[in-house]
Structure 1
Amino acid sequence: MAALPVEEVRSRVEADFDRIVNVLNKKIALQSISAKGITADHMKRSAEFVAEELSKVGVNAQVVQSHNPNGTPGAWEVIGSKIVDENAPTVLLYAHHDVQPVPDASAWNTDPFVGTVIDTRLYGRGSADDGGGIAIHSGALQALGDDLKVNIKVFVEGEEEMGSPSFIPFIEEHKDEFDSDVIIVADSGNWSAEIPSLTTSLRGNTDIDVHVKALHHPVHSGQYGGPILDANTLAAMLIASMYDEHGDLAVPGVASEDPIGGLQRDMDEATVRTDAGIVDSYRLAGTGSLAARLWTKPSVTVIGFDAHPVEGSFNVISPETTFRLSLRTAPNQRPEEAQEALAAFMVEHAPFGAEVWVDKLDNGMGWAMDPNAEATKDAMEAMEEAFGVAPVNKGEGGSIPFIPELQRIFPKAQVLVTGPEDPKANAHSPNESISLPSLKNNVITEALLLDKLAK
């Protein structure tokens, strides 16, 4: 089975690229903000548009409404298939059609819902996340046309930006329709607009609420301060006890990992400092590669703290407080295991015998790519052919819970996480954009990959 020549695929994508960009412009204009109602008419229109565009490239696509776990109506989803040979491998293409809100349009340099090209980038809400993923799938299928040698199934979700509450019931309900050998999730990004990447891992996530109590009621800080520490100070001591002198998390039972598949290139500290807006005097915490600290080592953030505001404060010792910890777990650790270890550590390290108890909250599993899978090697090869440079794989410090759920439901499928974003994409932020040269190369990559997967 002869592979399509790279230059033939490139020529087809070049000829179709105006259409691909036009699809993206129309998608931006739909304002498919799921936060305004996942069941609303504007989300149904968005799903219908995506189904129509996929139909134009040969997919038998339809719009289906999902249901939440409690049975209430859920998101408008797009599903479909293109079967070329019952004996050929099957590839599931995933993207999502909902986008983030625009709280303040004045923070944008362009109209967020009018696709606007400046230099080599197309600006607009959803241009990268994840209209770009939809455009990649559309472009790749159009490029292959009658030369497509794998069966295609598609799932374009309508509530990814809302945490995918109906994702699991929907997948379970359509399990046979989504069953596949390879799953391509086009919702991540590349090392840069010029250097492609596979996403090798995602951290998991678990949350706990920690309650600290020293007194049965408030008392005057002048009369009792000294031997009695206020609950906020005790909480601060408890939080600080999680770290060693280098700033590494040192909680027994919370795992740490090296970058999946090995570290090809470390993150640039100057870039990270600039992108995160770090003050000049701050020294980065932790040891080891910056990539590992951001991708595969665990991290804890205090995301909520019950304390009296400065405004209106008075001289009293706070008797008790509660704070919420969000723990990003190493990709392969079960979040329940890490949650149990963190909760036990909190109770065992109660400062000065204060009462400490923990409420265990939500868990989300991490994910790690199989670097030795045949599909992984095909993807790396396709990326290098399309971009003209070797890929630099990267992890993600964040969590995308539906990816490990896909892997759980379809354990035999190889999951590849690709995507249209790059460090300048500003997904979820003002002035979101996509690199048009990178988009073109991403389309070429996916077309080449689908062609390779036929073997």
Structure 2
Amino acid sequence: MTENTGTTNPSLTEAQQTVREIVERNMPASVSDLTDLVRIPSVSWEAFDRSFVAQSAAAVAALLDDTGAFDSVVVSQAETPEGGLGQPAVLATRAAKNGRPTVLLYAHHDVQPPGDEADWQSAPYEPTIRGDRLYGRGASDDKAGVVSHIASVRALVEATQNEFDLGLVVFIEGEEEFGSRSFAAFLDKHREQLGADVIVVADSDNWNVDTPALTISLRGNVTFKLTVRTLEHASHSGMFGGAAPDAMLAAVRLLASLHGEDGSVAVEGLVGTQGGTPEYPESQLAEEAGFLEGVRSVGHGAILSRLWFQPAITVTGIDAPSVANASNTLLPQVAVRISSRIAPGQKAHDAFAAIEAHLRAHAPFGATLEITDVDLGDAFLVDTSGWAVREAKAAMKDGWGVDAVDTGIGGSIPFISDLSRVFPDAQILVTGVEDPDTRAHSPNESQHLGVFKRAILSEALLLARLNVKTLAQLSE
């Protein structure tokens, strides 16, 4: 695997070359910062200890404060729709001067649960380097995004002796992995401090470890808990099986109705859209997704069209007796977690209405359904016509040595729609530190260290480019 180290480019300004040298020199410290953050199990889900998320926020705030770049660094919380307090986020600000733009750098410091630790080759919260990758929960999603922002700001500070005119806002969220429930309230609470001309969201993927990507299409999401009930209590399966409908049978039949024979979504009212895609054969999907021998893909049409522009429905969890604890009884109820990805062009609210209508219309044997814990996030299409995309792609080419690829992504970053709603004039750039082998959300999540360095360098070069241009010049 060849790494693009970013050799000296004679066309770079002296300041940009200085930034390059600083990023290279600071890489050991950047990796150390990342490993320190990975050691904090900052899972934001309700069932986990909130004190670790607070510890993580404090650590991020200290790193930002140590750069010396900011007029203010605070840890703040906002209310959730349910009336409680959301997880702590970090907000750092520095005002623009002399007509320069303001750039908002977003990432999140919370992480997914580790899952079964037996599936990890090394402990999920003990960062471990094997080859060119750093393993650990959150090593890539998204603590590498957090540190890439910190390291790029640090490089700008050192290159300019902290005498720069670019406005900076750093917003490090604390609950992205739990649906960003207080995000909208946080935007309202800090609207004035968060205002920016460009928003860089470092929470996406790259085409591969040698080629950067700018994400321009994101699916939305609809997630909820579905509880299926058929009986008032458990009953002996030998005495009543074959006549009494147990909840597992009803749930299996109901869930099967969500897909057609080829595995494509079969819910009336869920729609796809059209868009161009790069070449991506099924063999590449099989390798990157980890197909077992003989397994084939689901759905129809071009692979990337299925991943970027078509809806998907997945059952991500189920509450039922384990095999070890199974008894010969008919289950009175079964609960599942459903995650649906919504194609760009459809509102999440409309998609949820379609899914709910389908479930209620297809409930077998008169089963009763309860739908709770609903989270909705709209899809998003990035406007690529502005100057921010131009400047970002130039910085990416300088940092990686090759042109960036415009990509969609099958996953969702629903808060981007909130950012666009509150700051309609801001240009949004969706970048990232991940690659196809990252395994975000899965056991053995990892960060490729070469990608990490190039992501830091590209962002630092972008900040350096924007620091020497006024908004008027950029808009010409």
Q: Do the structures match in fold with TM over 0.5?
A: yes
Q: 1:153/1:283 Cα in 2 relative to 1: closer, same or farther (>3 Å)?
A: same
Distance 2:443 2:88 in 1: 26
Distance 1:71 1:230 in 2: 37
Distance 1:31 1:141 in 2: 25
Which of 159, 175, 179 is the matching residue for 2:175? 159
Q: 1:160/1:357 Cα in 2 relative to 1: closer, same or farther (>3 Å)?
A: closer
Count of aligned pairs between the two proteins? 446
1:5-404 superposed matches below 5 A: 7-35=17-45, 39-40=50-51, 42-57=52-67, 58-69=69-80, 70-85=82-97, 87-102=99-114, 107-110=119-122, 112-145=124-157, 146=160, 148-207=164-223, 209=226, 239-244=255-260, 246-259=262-275, 262-266=276-280, 268-303=281-316, 311-313=326-328, 325-346=338-359, 359=371, 361-404=374-417
CA-based RMSD of the aligned residues comes to 3.8
Distance 1:324 1:131 in 2: 26
Q: 1:235/1:24 Cα in 2 relative to 1: closer, same or farther (>3 Å)?
A: closer
Q: Which deviations, in whole Å up to 9, do the C-alpha atoms of 1:88-131 show, x marking residues without a partner? A: 22111111223344455564444544444333223333322222
Distance 2:205 2:54 in 1: 27
Gaps of 5+ in 1: none
Q: Which deviations, in whole Å up to 9, do the C-alpha atoms of 1:361-387 show, x marking residues without a partner? A: 442222222233332232223222211
Distance 1:445 1:348 in 2: 51
Q: Which deviations, in whole Å up to 9, do the C-alpha atoms of 1:209-235 show, x marking residues without a partner? A: 486979xx9999999979x99887676
SS of the aligned residue for 2:434 comes to coil
Distance 2:33 2:405 in 1: 29
Q: Which is worse superposed, 289-298 or 323-332?
A: 323-332
Q: 1:281/1:4 Cα in 2 relative to 1: closer, same or farther (>3 Å)?
A: same
Gaps of 5+ in 2: 1-10
Q: 1:325/1:4 Cα in 2 relative to 1: closer, same or farther (>3 Å)?
A: same
Q: Which is worse superposed, 439-448 or 148-157?
A: 148-157
SS of the aligned residue for 1:50 comes to helix
Q: 1:123/1:363 Cα in 2 relative to 1: closer, same or farther (>3 Å)?
A: closer
Look up the equivalent residue of 2:70 and give its one-letter code: V
Q: Is the 8 A contact 1:128 1:421 kept in 2?
A: yes
State the identity as a percent.
37
